[in-house]
Structure formats: structure tokens, C-alpha cells
Structure 1
Amino acid sequence: MSLAPRLDLRQSQSLVMTPQLQQAIKLLALSNLEIETFIAEEVEKNPLLDAGAGDDERGVAEPDREPVVERDGPADAGELLDSGASTGEAALDVDLATETFHHDSPSDSIGGLDGGLGLAGTGSGGSAEDGPDFDSFSAPDLSLADHLLAQAGATVGGTDLFIAQHIIDQIDETGYLTASLLDMATRLGVPLARVEAVLAIIQTFDPTGVGARDLAECLALQAKEADRYDPCMAALIANLDLLARGELGRLKRICGVDDEDMADMIRELRNYDPKPGCKYGGEPVPAVTPDIFVAPRGQGWAVELNSATLPRVLVNRAYYAEVSSGPQDKSSKAWLSDMLASANWLVKALDQRQRTIIKVASEIVKQQEAFFRHGVSHLRPLTLRNVADAIEMHESTVSRVTSNKYLYCARGLFELKYFFTSAIQSADGGDAVSAEAVKSAIRALIQAEDAKKILSDDTLVELLNAKGFDIARRTVAKYREAMGIGSSVQRRRQKALEGA
């Protein structure tokens, strides 16, 4: 064996992800609203890209610009998969020279949020036509801190106002004081009694109960404001743990009241707000905008992307022709060519993404057609692999497509992940059922239970077995807790309190 150095030539195969492929895979996992942000960033970097109104809104046809294709037209779920119209989705790094794109969707010519599916009244997005945004005319919500500071400025002054401002800074969004008065007094260099006196003033501010250090103090402040803080009510508020456990007999002995007085005090407590600060300055919960619309169409289903949240991207070839015709050096010409290739790729990658989403969503509708027709009790077990095998894609691609995507249908708004559920074996040996269907059955049984005959988990198992669900007691308990439903003991106490 020779030990001298030498050169060898070896051939091997390896999978290399191009930057274009990596970005295309990233686009699959983004929602329509995130795509809008991504496109805005790309438009800033690439002068050959335009985003916004289409040709019909400009009033003049511009053949030198290529709009993003929206292959999101209505199609029967089965026909869409069988027709082979969406071939090539498996290769996300598409051949830019061989791809042909054209308008074939009613949403390209029909305005409206849902592209003509008749679901425009969902309030889940914008309109194809620009209109006044009435929300922009509303005044911003007043925060709890600003509301309290305004009252403090009108009530106290000098050092007390400084102390009040410091206390208000320590009040959380629910209205509770989270800091120690002794620590504040030490930090500010003032007597503890003075800090307590200022806190007592703050506790008289609106909303009633603000500045409390715990739930009992919050309820006590509201009871005093309502002139209901007598010794019996004070004893009840001091023993909220007994009330939570439903020990009404012991509470009646502690408070020294009869059944009628106890029921009256409990009703009074229910009228109080345990989190008085939440009515001020809360961040508005953003509405979820659907990415896909599904509606019945003849014997099948129409599946369409929400075109209202899909910005139209145009390649400005007129600008490219104007710039490229002028004098330019070698580096400028290379940069301009790169910008054109990047713009062309983005347009085609976005179309590829839309067609892939439509294909996955159509297969989900096909697999879960019974749910769309009859409800959650007919939801079938479904996995990512089932859909991936049916449409001949990789499981990871289906996972990315179903991430952060929402589907709107006549039954409501659902995340695409909702339709993928585990299987529960049928008790009669029939087809397996979805875990969501079992949860729906458990919820229905508990909602219909008699207040005097609360269903235990063992009883629920027997009733579910009678319905054909082969399920263990621990699984019933797990599903019940996942839905936020208490145990039979907790529900019995709750029913007793409601009947008090």
C-alpha cells in the first residue's frame, strides 16, 4: 500500500436545498396576512416588483406586467384532485422556464371577500373595494393607569400625588396591587401609614374594587360601596375558600344566617366584579381572518382561497426594459438580471403556494365531507400521512400547509389542524371515530345531566359505550379536563351554588 500523497476523483449524490427552495418551503407555513408582510418587504428590496391594485383598478391594461396567478377558484373537492390540474406541487423549486400561468378563477373577475362563494358577510377580512375604516375614527381606549392617574390628580396633590402615582404603577391590568406597601414606603422614604392612607384614597376610585391586594379585599370594597358590608357579609368574604368548596352548611354556621339569607348574600357576590381593571385599556383581540372558504356547490364543494388577503404582485417589465436599455456596466447588468429572476421566481412561488394550499384543503374537505354536512359528531379520524398519501406529497409539506391556516364554512371558523384527530375504536367493531366526536358526545351528556343526578366518569363511560364509543375512564377524564369541565364533585357543588 502506497503512503505517498495522491489525487482521487470521486462521484457522490447529495440533496442540496437552494435558497429559492428554502424560501418556498417557508412560504408554505405562512398565513395570508403573513404573506402580505413578506411581500411588502420584498417590494422594498426589489424595484421590479409592484404590489397592490390590479389592472382593472388602474383603468389601463398593462400587458408588460405579470399578476400573481390565483388558482383558487371553486372546484369540487374530488374533481380537483382527480383532474390533475395541480400537478407539480411536490417540486417547490419549480422550473421557471417551463411553468405557464393564467387566470382561471372566478375570484379574478368577481369582487368580494370570498370570490363569489356567498360568504362575504363573515366579517373576517376586508373588501375588494376600498372604503372608509370607521374603526380609525374611534378614540383609543383609556388605559386603567391613565384613568386612575386622572382621578388622583383631581383628588390629591404634593407628596401624596407622588405616592399615588407610584402605587398606580404597581397596579396590574386586572386592578390588583401587586407590590408590598412596606417596600414602597422604604423605597420612597415615607412612613408606611402615609402610603396606606394614599392607598385607601385610591381604593375609592372608579372602578370600585381597584387597588385591592387580593380577591377578598376586592369584593369587600365593592360590598362597602353597595352598603352591604355587614358582619355576615364580612364573614362570608373572609371564608371564600369554603364557598368555593360548596360547604354551605358550615358557612351558614359561621355567618349565623339561614338558607334564605345565605342565598341572598351569594347572589350579591355574583354581581361583583372580581377583576375590575379589565374593563379599561385591554388590548383588542384581533379577529382571525380565514385563509380558505368552503361552501356547498351542487353535489360537491367549492374550495377557494380568501383573495381579499392575498396581495397582487406584479413584475414591472416596462421599468426593466427602460433601465436595461440605458448605459450600464457589467455589475449593474448582473444586478438587474438578478432582480428580474428574483421577481419572476416570487410570482411563480406564490402561485405554487396557492395551488398547494388548495390541493391540501380540497383533500381535507373530501376526507371530512361528513363533518361539513352533518357536524362534529361525524368527524373522521385523520392524520397528516392520510392526506399526504392521497395527494402524493410529503407529510412535512402537508404539515406546513396546515400551519396557521383557517378555514371558514357554514359551521364556523376552524384551524386546518382541527380536522386532524386521533382515532377511538368503536365498541361494536365498526369504523373508528374521531376524538373530537367523542369530546362532543361527552360535552352533550354533561350539559344535559340532571342537577340532582350528576354523571360520574364511570357513568359517562357506560353511556359512551352505549353510543358505540369504546373508551376508558382515564380517557374520559382527560378529554373532560381538556374541555375545561370539572369533575362530578365540582359540578355538583357548582349546581348547588347556582340553586342557592
Structure 2
Amino acid sequence: MALANRLAMRQGQAMVLTPQLLQAIKLLQMPNAELAAFIEAELERNPLLERADELPIFDPPAAGGETAPEAEATPEPGDWATETLESDPDALARNLGTEIDNAFELDRPPTPAEPARVDEGLGLSATSWTGAGGRGFDEESPDLEAYIAAPTSFSEHLTRQALIALGDPIDRMIAAALIDALDESGYLTAPLEAIAGQLGAPLARVEAVLAKLQGLEPTGVFARSLGECLALQLIERDRYDPAMQALIANLPALARRDFGALRRACGVADDDIADMIAEIRRLDPKPGRAFGAVVEPPAIPDVFVTAAPDNSWRVELNSEALPRVLVNETYAAKIKRNAGREEDRQFLSSSLQTANWLTKSLEQRARTILNVASEIVRRQDGFFVGGVAGLRPLNLKTVADAIGVHESTVSRATSNKFIQTPRGLFEMKYFFTTPIASVANGADQAHSAESVRFKIKQMIDAEDPAEVLSDDVIVARLRQADIVVARRTVAKYRDSLRIPSSVERRRAKSDAFRPSAHALGPLSL
């Protein structure tokens, strides 16, 4: 049979991710800070976009029925295409071309200005004052932030000290290599042999430079281990005696709270052990974090949940965190009439299309976040009433099916989004927990993993020091509370709560060391 080529037409449907759809997906996933930066860039790039708070406020008609000259430039209703991002579903559903008053409430027009008052002593009016250089306050003032020094980095801080402490050019070169090898906590993680081989310098000279650098501020930098970092700080405080040396050499026993082993290793009494541990707790195990730590912006709630008078919950979008942009169609129409070149008309058309799509995408983003938050509040009503113990199992598919969207949409809508509740600020993903089966009813009456974790913590906090609960005992008590979990699950939840094992807790709560251990509190070396 011979094969032949032929042309054929077929009709079909396929899902295509257009650039506009990709933009809407990215906007939904963006947190508040990132979305604000994106809107700022779009406002600078697109001349047809404007902020809602930049709308002109028109003067009222003059007294006596005459129209003020400025009123002639007042646009007719419908000249502005507006998009509101309020939580009201009716307001969200409005199309482009609505009036300004329907979109945002404008401030009241200002009253006519009072006559300028003249200071007879100085001969200056309140409206004639100018700043330095003859500029008025309405003009752009100098950027004071340009005169503020940039923060010093950790590397720059150490380099300046090294230039003072070291005079030899070769030693300075070795110091630069050691500074580059530090991690963000101030520890030297690279082996000295590798650094010496890379520089072609004798190992003894690299060690000598390191010894000098370990005297720089903050104390404890250039340490190669936690013990060395603590030892450097104790040496500076003149507290590195033989007993303290033995304690630093037994940091694993200190982390296990094995006070008996520490007492034997240090050869001191219980009170001295408590004083030494308290001294170590005052040290900084990460001396470089003051420079390397990145200041995280505060979490801004996207949704507010408040109690309603009828014992229900009111869910509202945070209007302060929502971007409010408008499409200036009046300006677009004026430009279109004067656009003579084809390139200008294409740019105008593209800008108008982009602006309209952006406002619709922001509206859809607000509506989706509100719908997801409302469904979360409806299904987690027990949490808002009774706390963590009232959390119920919840997954993305349940919320997605309830509001008629895909699971990925719910995942993006809850990513880096926060909800302010009467019980505090929570990330939306906090309310999605895996189910733990029930003894009597199985999966139909499953418990939330977060609530089970909370019950385990309550049991351990209330345990008798003389009868410390083992993981097996916790499993048995949870089964009595109609919760089915395995022993390894209890151990995993206990580790996530940073709760020691029963052996370590029994040692920490023993009668011989109970006063000292209680005074010290939990260790986190």
C-alpha cells in the first residue's frame, strides 16, 4: 500500500494560556508587597492608568449660580472607566464605564481659600513662603534619603577592622579570603587547608591571621564550631575557667539536659552548674546575624474576620491593602484624536487593552480571595469559637469544589495571604490540615492534625514530673479521646513542637535539678 500526503482541516478545542491569563494567575499568587510593586511599575509604564486617590477634585459652582472657570473642564459622567476592588459583590461586578461616584467616595470639595494672612512683622504672606533655593513647597524637594548612608554589610564591617588590625599586604589578602568564606552567622565553614592551598600561603600563616581576626567585633566571628564561638566570647568576659572549658566540651550533654554528666565533667555543685549555664545563655551563638539578617516586612492581613451581631462571622477584604487603579478613557480619547502615526495608534490601543485587563484581573483577584476566605471561615467555625482544638480537617479540593474553581486557584489565592481573626493573625494555609481518623466513626468524624498536635502539647504541659508521659502512653490517651494515631506520629508531632523525649523530660524534671532547670527554662543552643 502506498503512502500519500494530503491536507486536512480539523476543528477542535484546546486550552491556551494567553499572556493576559498568565498575568491574572501571577496577580492572584502575589502577596501584598509584591503586588504593590507591580502596580507601581504598571503606573509608570502605562499612561492610561491612574491611582484612584489621584482623581481630580472639581470646584463647586460659584456663589450666585455662576459657574466657576474651572468647572468648564469638568468631564461628563461616563468619561472615566473605573474599576472598584471593594468587597461588595455588586460593586465588583460593575463593568468599565461606571461613574466615579459609584466607584470610590471622593472627599468633599474644599471650601474657598481664605485670604492670605500677612505677618506685619515680617512682611510675608502665608502663600509666598519658599524653601531653600527659592523653590516653593509645591515643587519637588530634595531627596533626603539620598543623604542617608547605606547600611554597612557584614563583610564591610569586618574588612574595615581587618585593615586596621593587619598591616602586611599578604595578611590582608588572606584576611579577605577568610572573610569571604564566612557564612551569614559568622562561622568559618571552609577548611583552612583548602584556603591556604587556594592562596598558595603556608598553613601556619593562615592560622596566625585567623587568630588575629577572631579578636574582631562582634566577638565570636571566625569560629569554626559552636564551642569555639562560645569560648571566644567567654574569653573576652574572663569567664573561661577550667570548669567552663569542661562545660563547653560537653555541649551535647547540655543540649540533652544531662545535668548529672555535666556535674561529673565539671566537678562543681548543682548551683554552680546553673550559674554556668545561665552565663552561656547570655552569649550569642550567631554573632553575624545582626548584619546578615534580612528584615522581613510585617504581614499585612488581606481579609478581616469579625463577629456579627447575629453570632455569625463577617468576612471583609482589607481595602487598605487593595490596589485601586482607574483607566482614564478621557485622556485616551484625546490622544486618539491627535494620533497621526500608525505606531502611536497601536501603542494607544495596546495600552488601553492592557489597562482594562489589569483592572479586571485585580477585580477577579479580590473576588477570588474573598470567596476562598469566606469558605474557610464557614468550614472552620469551630476554630473561631473554641480555638485550635476546634480545627477540622480541610483540603484544597473541598474549598475548590464549594466555590467552583480549580484546586490550583485556591492554592494561589491562599499563598502568602493572611487573615486577621479575633484569635490573631494567621496565614490562610494554616486552616488546611490533614485528617486523623477517629476510633468510633473513622474518616467521617476525623480530627485535624493541628488539633491533635495541640492536644499532645496540652498533655505534656500538664504531666506530673514524677510520671512523665511516654509516647506510648500519649497514644493510649489519645485513643481514649477517640483519636487514632501511631507512636511514630506522636514522636513526629512532638519533635515539630520542639518537645524533648520522655527520657530527657524525666531527667530535666528530676527532684535533684528541678529548681535549677525551672529557673533556666528551655535551652536552644
Q: Is the 8 A contact 1:107 1:307 kept in 2?
A: no
Corresponding residue for residue 68 of structure 1: 83
What are structure 1's unaligned runs of at least 5 residues? 74-79, 89-95, 111-132
> What is the match of residue 232 of structure 1?
243
Q: Distance in 2 between matches of 1:391 and 1:102?
A: 30
Q: Tell me if 1:469 matches 2:476.
A: no
Contact 2:85–2:323 (CA<8 Å) still a contact in 1? no
Post-superposition shift, 1:378?
0.9
Within the alignment, does 1:307 sit opposite 2:307 as a pair? no
SS of equivalent to 2:338: coil
Q: Any residues of structure 2 matched to 1:82-97 within 5 Å, and which? A: none
Query: How far did residue 281 of structure 1 move?
Result: 4.3
Quote the residue 2:138 is aligned against.
Answer: none
**Would the aligned equivalents of 1:39 and 1:51 in 2 still touch at CA under 8 Å?**
no
Are 2:161 and 1:151 equivalent residues in the alignment? yes
In 2: Cα distance, 1:443 partner to 1:86 partner: 46
2:446 matched to which residue of 1? 432
The alignment status of 1:34 with 2:47, answered yes or no, reads no
Taking a change above 3 Å as real, the CA distance of residues 242 and 53 of structure 1, as seen in their structure-2 partners, is same
Q: Deviations over 1:403-461 (max 9, x none)?
A: 23211122222221221222223335483322111111112222233344322111212
Bigger Rg, which one: 2
User: What's the secondary structure of 2:288's corresponding residue?
Assistant: helix
SS at 1:303 equivalent: strand
For the 8 Å contact 1:72–1:105, the answer to whether it is kept is no
Q: Please, which of 274, 293, 296 is the counterpart of residue 285 of structure 2?
A: 274
Higher relative contact order (CA 8 A, sep 6+): 1
CA contact (8 A) 2:417 2:428 kept: yes
Which residue identity lines up with residue 175 of structure 1 in the other structure?
G
Match of residue 53 from structure 1: 53
Contact between 1:203 and 1:210, CA under 8 Å: does it hold in 2?
yes
CA displacement, residues 366-398 of structure 1 (integer Å, 9 cap, x when unaligned):
221221232111112222232223223333332
The 2-side partners of 1:316 and 1:482 are apart by 53
1:342 aligns to 2:357 (yes or no): no
Letter in 1 for 2:491: A
Conserved? CA contact 1:86–1:355, under 8 Å? no
Residue pairs, 1:43-442, within 5 angstroms: 43-51=43-51, 53-55=53-55, 63=77, 64-73=79-88, 141-159=151-169, 160-299=171-310, 300-326=312-338, 328-330=340-342, 332-429=344-441, 431-442=445-456
Shift of 1:137: 9.9
Aligned CA distance change for structure 1 residues 134 and 407 (closer, same or farther; 3 Å)? farther
**2:332 match: secondary structure:** helix
Cα distance in 1 for partners of 2:221, 2:16 equals 60
Deviates more, 1:315-324 or 1:223-232: 223-232
Counterpart residue identity of residue 46, structure 2: N
Output the amino acid matched with 1:412. G
Could you tell me how far apart the structure 1 residues matched to 2:235 and 2:418 are? 48
In structure 2, the residue corresponding to 1:486 is in which secondary structure?
A: coil
Could you give the per-residue CA deviations for residues 228-265 of structure 1, whole angstroms, max 9, x where no partner exists?
Answer: 22223222322323333444444434433344443443
TM-aligned CA deviation for residue 469 of structure 1: 2.3
Checking the alignment, whether the CA contact within 8 Å between 1:295 and 1:302 is kept in structure 2 is: yes
* CA distance in structure 2 between the aligned counterparts of 1:240 and 1:443, rounded to whole angstroms: 27
2:363 counterpart SS class: helix
- The one-letter code matched in structure 2 to 1:310 is L
Report the counterpart of residue 455 of structure 1 in structure 2: 469
2:2 and 2:267 mapped to 1: Cα distance?
103
The 1-side partners of 2:376 and 2:236 are apart by 56
Whole-angstrom CA distance in 2 between matches of 1:495 and 1:138: 53
Residues 337-388 of structure 1: CA deviation (Å, up to 9, x unaligned): 3432332222222212212221221121122122123211111222223222
Judging changes above 3 Å, is the alpha-carbon distance between structure 1 residues 364 and 210 closer, same or farther for their aligned structure 2 residues?
same
Work out the percentage of aligned pairs sharing the same amino acid: 50
| Alpha-carbon distance in 1 for matches of 2:105, 2:438 | 46
Q: 1:248 to 1:214 in 2, by over 3 A?
A: same
From the superposition, tell whether residues 11 and 301 of structure 1 become closer, same or farther in structure 2 (CA, over 3 Å). Answer: same
Over the residues paired in the alignment, what is the CA RMSD in angstroms? Answer: 3.7
How has the CA–CA distance of structure 1 residues 466 and 139 changed in structure 2, closer, same or farther, with 3 Å as cutoff?
A: farther
Q: Which runs of 5+ in 2 are unaligned?
A: 60-70, 108-142, 518-525
Cα distance change, pair 204–329 in 1 and its aligned pair in 2 (3 A): closer
Q: Which amino acid aligns with 1:488?
A: S
Q: Give distance in 1, aligned partners of 2:395 and 2:215.
A: 57
Mapped contact 1:142–1:281 kept (Cα < 8 A):
no
**Normalised TM-score (structure 1):** 0.79
Distance in 2 between residues matched to 1:369 and 1:135, nearest whole Å = 47
Shift of 1:173: 2.6
Measured after TM superposition, the shift of residue 69 of structure 1 is 1.1
Q: Deviations over 1:302-345 (max 9, x none)?
A: 32222223222221212211111125255543443343233222
* Maintained 8 Å contact 1:141/1:280: no
Whole-Å separation in 2 of the counterparts to 1:205 and 1:250? 34
- Report the counterpart of residue 487 of structure 1 in structure 2: 501
Cα pair distance change 1:495/1:389, threshold 3 Å: same
Change (3 A) 1:40 1:265: closer
Q: Give the whole-Å Cα distance in 1 for the aligned partners of 2:359 and 2:495.
A: 47
Q: 1:135 to 1:235 in 2, by over 3 A?
A: farther
Q: Deviations over 1:101-129 (max 9, x none)?
A: 6889998579xxxxxxxxxxxxxxxxxxx
* Partner SS for 1:431: strand
User: 1:182 Cα shift?
Assistant: 3.9
Query: Which stretch of structure 1 is more off in the superposition, 354-363 or 26-35?
Result: 26-35
Distance 1:53 1:21 in 2: 28
Normalised to the residue count of structure 2, the TM-score between the two structures is: 0.75
Report the CA distance between 1:5 and its aligned residue: 6.8
- The C-alpha deviation readout for 1:264-318, integer Å capped at 9, x for no partner, is 4333333332222223342212222222222223223332222223222221212
Query: What one-letter code is carried by the residue in structure 2 that aligns with 1:486?
Result: P
- Name the CA distance, whole Å, in 2 between partners of 1:442 and 1:137: 55
Change (3 A) 1:311 1:186: same
